[in-house]
Amino acid sequence: MRAMTYRGPGRVRVEEKPIPPLEHPNDAIVRVTCAAICGSDLHLYHGMMPDLRVGHTFGHEFVGTVHAVGSSVEHLQPGDRVMVPFNICCGSCFFCARGLYSNCHNVNPNASAVGGIYGYSHTCGGYDGGQAEFVRVPFADVGPTKIPEWMDEEDAVLLTDACPTGYFGAQLGDIREGDVVIVFGAGPVGLFAAKSSWLMGAGRVIVVDHIDYRLEYARRFANAETVNFTQVDDIVQWAKETTEFLGADVCIEAVGAEADGAFFQHLTAAKLKLQGGSPVALNWCIDSVRKGGNVSVVGAFGPLYSAVKFGDAMNKGLTIRTNQCPVKRQWPRLFEHVRNGVLKPSEIVTHRVPLDDIAEGYHIMSNKLDGCIKPLVYPNGKH
């Protein structure tokens, strides 16, 4: 089969690999029909995640058709069209039993601090991902679900991570009616977080980024106010002034490890890898939220330490809530929202690339060229 493979920071190529075998009785092998490049794939692409091995196939957002199933699989059969959450989860450990599927304890021997994620390095379990023609899907009776007949494939692929993560980020903010919400980051997750904040009753939603075309998208897609932080003297001061010096009720960090806006932080984290991630946006969240407010963090960071302003967080009595999104748990409600037209996830898709051109897809996404928000990858070259 053909699969995208990592060749070092900033380099990927398509190689021939064997079709993955069934390794466990509850495995399925899925023929991928559509995958996506996620903003968090860029942290891998830039070599920021430890134990990222050359030859690794990325891709934790994908949908496809079941090709083969293991002997104990009961809920799926070959030919089923399935969407697969980015979390690999057993369904029976302490954490899965409590609905914390992203924290599953039975799928990642390499680390106890993170669960299993498709195509996200050996730190996340060493599973090849879905930017390929085929992918191994463990615990096929727990994670994947059949794509409803009425659901568009591109909506389905965005429901495997980006859309649920943004929706989850708004929930972590514990938004109450009339709250002022500031979302840092106008990438796919930030856009969905902004949109979801309205669903939860926000009174004002402000999106902060440094790229004008993304902010324009935020205004159009998420009905948000926007501010380009390079166009104000000090984004924290701006946040205070726009809230009558109270601060926002909720700040959502939807940027993660490669946040820009403070050169030293960006250099030490994104370029020199001396931090787990650049905490620029996280620190702005801490500074911009009001005392006693909530900071929701859904941006992905590496496992090393980061220079976070924890003293301010403590002194302000903040509630900081975080997690990788337990996708499976969001689906029933999000399916309703998609079916009712409240959400149309595929509206953020800007690029569609065949697998053979994936290196160019990564370059465009990484450099934010050509108005790129969300690129999809088609292994069979067609869309």
Partner 1 sequence: MAYTREKPRLTPPVEELRRTIPGWGVDLDRANRPSVPKEKFEETGAHWDVPEQQPEHWPREKSTEHRFVTPVFGTAQPLRGVSGAIRRYAYTFSEGRTAHWLLLLIGDRVDIIESRIEALTKGQPDNPITETGVLAEFKDSAFRTRFGQHRADLKHQPLDLLLWAVPYVALAGCLYMLAQRRPARRAMR
Among residue numbers 209 through 248, which ones bind partner 1 (CB under 8 A)?
210-213, 223, 228-231, 242-246
Q: Which amino acid is at 210?
A: H
**Rounded to whole angstroms, how far apart are CA atoms 297 and 90?**
25
**Rounded to whole angstroms, how far apart are CA atoms 257 and 46?**
10
Among 19, 81, 153, 204, the residue binding partner 1 under the rule CB under 8 A is 204
Among 1, 65, 81, 105, the residue binding partner 1 under the rule CB under 8 A is 105
By CB under 8 A, the residues from 19 to 48 that bind partner 1 are 23-26, 47
**Rounded to whole angstroms, how far apart are CA atoms 12 and 122?**
17
By CB under 8 A, the residues from 116 to 145 that bind partner 1 are 116, 122-123, 125-128, 138-139, 141-142
354 binds partner 1 (CB under 8 A): no
Among 28, 337, 345, 379, the residue binding partner 1 under the rule CB under 8 A is 337
To which H or E segment does residue 7 belong?
A: strand 2-8
Nearest-approach distance from CB 359 to partner 1, in angstroms: 4
Nearer of residues 75 and 383 to partner 1, judged by Cβ: 75
Token look-up 């990438």 returns 187
Provide the strand spans (E) within 113-228. Answer: 116-117, 134-137, 145-146, 180-184, 204-209, 225-228
Among 1, 19, 50, 347, the residue binding partner 1 under the rule CB under 8 A is 50
Nearest-approach distance from CB 330 to partner 1, in angstroms: 5
Provide the strand spans (E) within 77-138. Answer: 81-84, 87-88, 116-117, 134-137
**Rounded to whole angstroms, how far apart are CA atoms 249 and 359?**
41
Nearest-approach distance from CB 153 to partner 1, in angstroms: 22
Among 18, 79, 311, 332, the residue binding partner 1 under the rule CB under 8 A is 332
Q: What track of x and - describes contact with partner 1 for positions 144 through 183 (by CB under 8 A)?
A: ------------------------x--xx----xx-x---
**Rounded to whole angstroms, how far apart are CA atoms 117 and 128?**
9
Among 58, 217, 284, 362, the residue binding partner 1 under the rule CB under 8 A is 362
Of the candidate spans 32-40, 61-69, 149-157, 199-207, the one that interacts with partner 1 by CB under 8 A turns out to be: 199-207
By CB under 8 A, the residues from 52 to 91 that bind partner 1 are 52-57, 72, 74-75, 88-91
**Rounded to whole angstroms, how far apart are CA atoms 53 and 41?**
14
Residues 335 and 311: beta-carbon distance below 8 Å: no
99 binds partner 1 (CB under 8 A): yes
Nearest-approach distance from CB 139 to partner 1, in angstroms: 7
Among 37, 68, 107, 308, the residue binding partner 1 under the rule CB under 8 A is 107
Token look-up 């304890």 returns 105
Instruction: Characterize the bridge pairing of strands 180-184 and 248-253.
Output: parallel
Residues 299 and 280: beta-carbon distance below 8 Å: no
